[in-house]
Amino acid sequence: MFIERDINSNKKVGSIEVIAGSMFSGKTEELIRRLRRAKFARQTAEIFKPQIDVRYSVEEVVSHDENSIRSTPVENSANILLLTGDVDIVGIDEAQFFDKGLVDVVVTLANMGIRVIIAGLDMDFKGKPFGPMPDLMAVADFVTKVHAICVHCGNIAQFSHRTSDKEQVVLLGEKDIYEPLCRSCYLKAHLK
């Protein structure tokens, strides 16, 4: 997960890292940890998030544990390319909310020698692959799957269960609308 250099040249070789999992699994926390570690190593980074995600802050990526790092909200994935300067790393949070063009954007960045770190939900509340995340995991050099703890039984949770009756796929919320569940508890909740 380091920026590699081609032995025969001094040119950086980029990479794509995806951090995926359910809500409350620590995806954003891990993204922030990796970005802070890179900044400590004096690497330059730019962080982006979808413009629609204003739950905690307009211009910061914020974890559920209230750790934060400055970011730039963007309307669509193409803006990431336009706003990326001369950096070593690009961080992207809540990738599931971006358009499918995000895949081409991160591949282009990696091909330019940039380390790209992406965090996002792998499944929506119905347990279906969410947005560009499956395609991002397919093109990634590294995939880290993180898990929450099931609030009903204490097992490993991989599902983001929605506790409201709203059916739209994109519904921003926190513990008031979502809870992490294991497969067994998720299936029980959907049989009701």
Q: Which residues are the active-site residues?
A: 94
Confidence class for position 30, pLDDT limits 50, 70, 90: very high
Confidence class for position 39, pLDDT limits 50, 70, 90: confident
Q: pLDDT (tens digit, 9 = 90+) per residue, 116-166?
A: 999 999 999 999 999 999 999 999 999 999 999 999 999 999 999 988 776
| Distance separating alpha carbons of residues 161 and 176, to the nearest angstrom | 11
Q: Which residues contact 8 (CB under 8 A, 6 or more apart)?
A: none
Q: Write down the pLDDT at residue 104.
A: 98
Q: Write down the pLDDT at residue 171.
A: 63
One-letter amino acid for residue 77 of the chain: S
pLDDT over threshold 60, residue 54: no
Q: Which of 39-43, 67-71, 160-164 shows the highest mean pLDDT?
A: 39-43
Q: Write down the pLDDT at residue 159.
A: 96
Contact 74, 97 (CB under 8 A): no
Residue 186: enclosing H or E segment and its boundaries?
A: helix 183-191
Q: Write down the pLDDT at residue 2.
A: 46
Q: Write down the pLDDT at residue 151.
A: 96
Would you tell me which CATH number, out of the four given (3.40.50.10320, 3.40.50.1220, 3.60.21.10, 3.40.50.300), belongs to the domain 4-147? 3.40.50.300
Confidence class for position 13, pLDDT limits 50, 70, 90: confident
Round the average pLDDT of the chain to a whole number and report it.
86
pLDDT over threshold 90, residue 6: no
Which residue did the predictor score with more confidence, 144 or 68? 144
Q: Out of 40-49, 97-106, 152-161, which region has the weakest mean confidence (pLDDT)?
A: 40-49
Q: Write down the pLDDT at residue 3.
A: 47
pLDDT over threshold 70, residue 62: no
pLDDT over threshold 70, residue 58: no
pLDDT over threshold 50, residue 102: yes
Domain boundaries, given as residue ranges, for the chain: 4-147
